[in-house]
Amino acid sequence: MSYIDLCIIAFSVSMDAFAVALCCGLAKHEKAFRTALILALVFGGFQALMPLTGWSVLYPFAEYLKNFGPYIMLVLLNGIGAYMIYEAFSANGKDDEKNKELTAKYILLSGVAVSIDALGIGASLAVNRQPVGEAMLFMGIFTLVISFIGYYIGYFLGHLFEKKLEFLGGTAIILIGWKLFLEYLGYI
């Protein structure tokens, strides 16, 4: 996978974290810098660890799955992208997140929730016997930075762009899935 592909995937999967951080920023908590930093570290940490988890679970079986790897990657990436697009248009309670107190439990559960898509990315890398280290680094750093920025955008600008960004992120993941699949088939 190229660095451009990694950047696009990392940026795309960080859109959920961005949206949640943006909603958290709407509440205008005291100690905004500290709150933004904690959210960014937790979200970035989970986004970096989830690909390793997905990769670790499936890598031992990669030899058995190698003939199906590109198909599995296509299905996983399209599923993740479609879910992100669905989330962009569903009323899945994100409006209520701005009213939630930012407890440690809420932040940790949100960290897991926003990084589930990274688990699928790690699994797709495993079945294609690709390394996971760079993906972990890219996803973790992108999410850390974007979550921090997202908190402050929510703090100052409100709910203007959230759904559009999740839609674009989902679309980008679907396109990357098709690009990788077409490369496997030799069309690109």
- HEC string of the chain equals CCHHHHHHHHHHHCHHHHHHHHHHHHCCCCCHHHHHHHHHHHHHHHHHHHHHHHHHHHHHHHHHHCCCHHHHHHHHHHHHHHHHHHHHHCCCCHHHHCCCCCCHHHHHHHHHHHCHHHHHHHHHHHHCCCCCHHHHHHHHHHHHHHHHHHHHHHHHHCCCCHHHHHHHHHHHHHHHHHHHHHHHHCCC
pLDDT at 183 over 80: no
What's the mean pLDDT in 121-138?
Answer: 87
The total number of structural domains in the chain stands at 1
**Residue 31 vs residue 28, higher pLDDT:** 31
What's the mean pLDDT in 112-134?
Answer: 83
**Residue 162 vs residue 115, higher pLDDT:** 115
Q: To the nearest whole number, what is the mean pLDDT of the chain?
A: 81
Task: Please give the C-alpha separations between residue 42 and each of 16, 17, 153, in angstroms, as whole numbers.
Answer: 13, 10, 18
pLDDT level of residue 121 (50, 70, 90 thresholds): confident
Question: In this predicted model, what pLDDT tens digit does every residue of 37-89 receive, in sequence order?
Answer: 999 999 999 999 999 998 898 888 777 766 776 787 788 778 877 877 887 78
pLDDT at 186 over 60: yes
pLDDT at 145 over 60: yes
pLDDT at 158 over 80: no
pLDDT at 36 over 90: yes
Task: Please give the C-alpha separations between residue 67 and each of 2, 32, 76, 120, in angstroms, as whole numbers.
Answer: 22, 49, 15, 18
pLDDT the model gives residue 142: 95
pLDDT the model gives residue 97: 47
- Spatial contact of 26 and 160, defined as CB atoms under 8 Å apart: no
pTM more than 0.85: no
pLDDT at 99 over 50: no
Question: In this predicted model, what pLDDT tens digit does every residue of 13-23 receive, in sequence order?
Answer: 888 788 888 87
pLDDT the model gives residue 85: 83
Q: Which of 50-59, 119-128, 135-144 has the lowest mean pLDDT?
A: 119-128
Which structural domain range is residue 158 located in? Answer: 3-185
